[in-house]
Amino acid sequence: MNNFIFNNPTKIIFGRNTIIQIGEELKKLGIYKVLFLYGGNSIKNNGTYEQVRNSLINHNIEFIEHSGVQPNPILTHTEIGIDLCKENGVTAILAVGGGSVIDEAKAIAAGAYLPNLWDAYAGKVKVTQALPIFTILTISGTGSEMNGSSVLTNSETEQKWFISAHCLFPKISIINPSVMRTLPWNQTVNGGIDAISHTLENYVMGKDQEISISIQESIFKSIISALDNLQIDKNNYESRASLAWASTIALNGIAGAGMGGGDWAVHRIEHALSAIRPDIAHGTGLAIIFPAYLKFVYEFNKVHLDRFAKNVWNCDSFEEAIETMKAKYKSWGSAISLSELNIEENQFSAIAKKALEQTEIGKLKNLSNEDVIEILKIAF
Ligand code: NZQ
Ligand code: ZN
C-alpha cells in the first residue's frame, strides 16, 4: 500500500426526488446568486431544468443562465461564462449536466480569479482559488461530481488539457439516478466504460493493495452487470443507481487509495485523440485504447493482470480476457477499433505527439513516442 492522503470534501445527496433540494441547500450556505450552467436541451426534455428553476425561485435565489456547454467543453464558451460571473456578481456556479458541464463549471470557477485561465491548464500557474461549485449530475461516468479535476479543450491549439485543485471539489453534488433514464443508450455505455477505465488506471498498478483492489473489482463487476441490465430495461432504477454510485467512487479517491496515483496513460492518449477529433466521445476512445494498452503492458504486471482475467472476466488466460472485454464492449454497441472511427494510420504520430506534449506519461511503463504509436497500432 503506497502512502496516501484522502480528503474529499464533497457532500453527496443521492436518490429519487433530490433535485428539488438544491434551493434549500444553497440558501443554508448563504448563496443567493448563481451562474446556472448547462449543455443542450436534455435537461429541459427530462424535467430537470424545471425542477432546478422552481427550487431556485422558491428559495429566492437569483440565477444567470449560461447554456450551450458542448460535450468536450471548450475554452471560448468558458470565457463567456467567466465574463457573466464578473458582470453579474454571482457568488457560486451551479452545473446541471454531465462531466462536460461540471468541468466547465470548475473552469469558470477558477477563471473568475485568474488573468488567463489557459495558463492554469498549461501548468504555468496553480489554481488556488475558485468560486464554490454545486452540481446536479444527469449522466454518470466521469466522477467529476466528486473530484477536483477539470478537462478543457483549447480548439485553437487542439489541446485537451486538465487541472486539478482542492478548491475545485464541488461543495454539494446531487445525484438522482432516475434522470439518467432519458440518456441515449450510447451515452449510458460511454459513461460506464469511462468509469471502468478510471478504475483500470489504478488497477494496472496493483500489487498488494488488497482492499483497494477488491473495491476496484467490485466496481468492474457492478458496472458490467448494471450495463447488461440497462441494455434490457433502461428504466431499471437499481441498476442506474448502482452504475451512478460505482462511477462516483471510481474517481473520488476511495478506489484509488494506496495505488500511487494510478497510471493514467490511456486517458492522456484518449485526450489527444479527442482533441484532434472532438466528435469522439471520451468513453468510446477509452473503449478502443484500453484493451490495446493492457496487451502492451501485460508483461510489466503479469500476475496482477492474470488476476484481472480470472476475477473480472472469469477467463483462464489474459488473452482470452481481453477478447471477452472487447466482445462485451461491442455487445453494448461501442466501437472497439480506431478504424471504425475512420482514424487513419497516418494520424498516429500526431496523436502520439499530442499525448506526450504536456508531460511524460505512463507509470507502469514510461511511454515513448514509439510506444504510443505501437498501442495505437494494436487499437487499429
Ligand atoms: O448537452 P445535453 O443536451 O445536456 O446532452 C448531453 C450530452 O450531449 C447528454 N446528456 C446528459 N445527461 C442526459 C443527457 N441526455 C439525455 N438525458 C440525460 N439525463 O449526454 C451528452 C454527453 O454529456 P457529457 O457531459 O459530455 O458526458 P460525460 O459526463 O461523459 O463528460 C465527458 C467529459 O468529461 C471529461 C471528458 O474528457 C469529457 O470532456 N472527463 C472529466 C473527468 C473529470 N473531471 O474528472 C475525468 C474523465 O476521465 C473525463 O476526461
Ligand atoms: Zn475518463
> Which domains, ranges and CATH numbers included, belong to the chain?
11-178 (3.40.50.1970), 184-379 (1.20.1090.10)
Name which residue sits closest to atom 43 of ligand 1, judged by CA.
144
Cα(251) to centroid of ligand 1, in Å?
15
Please classify residue 115 by burial: count the beta carbons closer than 10 Å to its beta carbon, then call 0-12 exposed, 13-18 middle and 19+ buried.
exposed
Cα 195 to averaged position of ligand 2 atoms, centre (Å): 7
Q: How far apart are CA 372 and CA 365, in angstroms?
A: 11
Report how far apart, in Å, the C-alpha atoms of 200 and of each of 2, 16, 136, 193, 308 are.
17, 30, 26, 10, 10
| Shortest-distance ligand to the CA of residue 42 | 1
Q: Which three cell numbers stand for residue 164?
A: 486539478
Mutate to test the pocket of ligand 1, among 8, 10, 75, 100 (most ligand atoms within 8 A of CB): 100
Whose CA is closest to atom 28 on ligand 1? 99
Residues with CB under 6 A from ligand 1: 39-43, 46, 71-72, 97-101, 103, 138-139, 141-144, 147, 149-151, 179-180, 182-183, 187, 190-191, 194, 251, 267, 282
Q: Which atom of ligand 1 is nearest to the CA of 101?
A: 25
Amino acid identity of 260? G
What protein residues have CB closer than 5 angstroms to ion ligand 2? 194
**Can you give the pTM of this predicted structure?**
0.96
For atom 3 of ligand 1, which residue has the closest CA?
40
Beta bridge pairs of residue 163: 150
Q: Which pLDDT belongs to residue 115? A: 96
Amino acid of residue 201: E
Q: Rg of the chain over CA atoms, in angstroms?
A: 20
Q: pLDDT value at position 356?
A: 96
Closest atom, ligand 1, to C-alpha of 198: 48
Protein residue with least CA distance to atom 2, ligand 1? 40
Q: What residues have CB less than 8 Å from 171, skipping those under 6 apart?
A: 9, 10, 11, 29, 92, 132, 133, 134
What confidence score (pLDDT) does residue 358 get? 84
Cell numbers representing residue 271 in the block: 485526450
DSSP H stretches of helix in the chain: 22-28, 42-45, 48-58, 75-88, 99-111, 117-121, 185-203, 210-232, 237-250, 265-276, 282-297, 302-313, 318-331, 348-355, 369-379
β-strand pairing of 172-175 with 11-14:
parallel
Three-state secondary structure call for residue 222: helix
Residue whose CA lies nearest to ligand 1 atom number 15: 183
Which parts of the chain sit beneath pLDDT 70?
Answer: none
